[in-house]
Structure 1
């Protein structure tokens, strides 16, 4: 195993052992949306723990982008966890996020909403967030695969500003919606990339956009509670 992978695993172990999770892999799994088996696999010295998995976990927990690589080659894990990076865990409490509808990708690259009537939601999912207006939508169909699989839930945080590279729900002035990746914003324009490979980059004037809402993460299909 290479040194950076060992470092990630040490950081993960120390994180689970911190006061936020008290050494409980089950609590950590619940907070991150992973299975306990997957957490055990990430801790296993014989298994891989790559950059992509590390970044996904850091994003869900609201940590810095390269949290599990932070301090590689300098200092100790204990010293790093005592810094303000570790304190960031307390900023995002796990909340009940209402599922307000369903979406699927249309043939033109836009989202097709299948909203429920008022008062007839589909339960809730649990997810760490500071946005009081966070909501979830269930994905139908395979048009957003592999980023979002059928049956999973996309968590949307409308009050948290999206950054370049984030997945976003873009509401256009004409009412159409898209689930895209925000590539850049400058000079009164923004460019969006598709979450799958079916469509090329799309550049819009800022005047064509009503809102940009952060797609903060996803919850597996078994996460629904009624």
Structure 2
């Protein structure tokens, strides 16, 4: 078993400690530290040994008595009560397929480009492979959506009450509203601003209800690059 002097010598050499620094860490006098190094002291009290252990990586028991494991065991990570953040959904290029403008009667004036002739795309975080974007024209949807911004429609994701939706009626008319509720035979839509009263529509008159995922600022637009 190594003597206290052997142990102190090893600690001082491996940690590059002077007698004064050793005394400072252990919170004892330099005279006491010198006696550890040169004799006649044969063992240390728990307090100074623990302080040296915390700074040097040697175990307090080994420093104090020469027994037990020489080095401190690696501490297990403290369990966290904070859940890991979910991974961010990757963004995708959503094609801009046309523009949309609110009409005087509360219905939309929408123009879609011919397939393959879109003007560009916006980046948007959605898992819907069928997502498409429309450029907002005019101020009829202000303040929800401003002129020049884009709305991203995600038709593969079911709309829930409270969602903004693009509603296409069987007669060809379209609306961009907030879905207020869906009942057995009717749906109710609420205007995006205070311009119009809530609208209740028979479900048999509805061709499709497509969820609006959100808005994208005008500067997010990227033009198609044709080679």
Pair member with larger Rg: 2
More helix by share: 1
* Partner Cα distance (2:99, 2:183) in 1: 32
In the other structure, the counterpart of 2:176 is: 179
Runs (4+) off by over 3 Å = 78-81
Matching residue within 91, 95, 101 for 2:98? 101
| Deviation digits for residues 140-168 of structure 1 (CA, Å, limit 9, x no counterpart) | 00011010000000000001001100000
Question: Secondary structure of the equivalent of 1:151?
Answer: coil
Deviation at 1:119, TM superposition (A): 2.7
Question: Secondary structure of the equivalent of 2:219?
Answer: helix
Deviation at 1:175, TM superposition (A): 1.1
Count of equivalent residues? 144
In the other structure, the counterpart of 1:79 is: 81
CA-atom RMSD in angstroms: 1.2
In the other structure, the counterpart of 2:72 is: none
| Deviation digits for residues 161-207 of structure 1 (CA, Å, limit 9, x no counterpart) | 01100000001111111000000011211100001111000001110
* Partner Cα distance (1:80, 1:185) in 2: 37
Matching residue within 158, 162, 166 for 1:161? 158
Q: TM-score, normalised by structure 2?
A: 0.61
Give matches, 1:1-226, under 5 Å: 79-82=81-84, 86-87=85-86, 89-90=87-88, 92-226=89-223
In the other structure, the counterpart of 2:54 is: none
* Partner Cα distance (1:186, 1:171) in 2: 18
Point out which structure has higher relative CO (alpha carbons under 8 A, 6+ apart). 1
| Deviation digits for residues 77-134 of structure 1 (CA, Å, limit 9, x no counterpart) | x63442xxx32x44x3200000000000000101101222333211000001010000
Gaps of 5+ in 1: 1-77
Question: Secondary structure of the equivalent of 2:81?
Answer: helix
* Partner Cα distance (1:94, 1:79) in 2: 30
Question: Secondary structure of the equivalent of 1:225?
Answer: strand
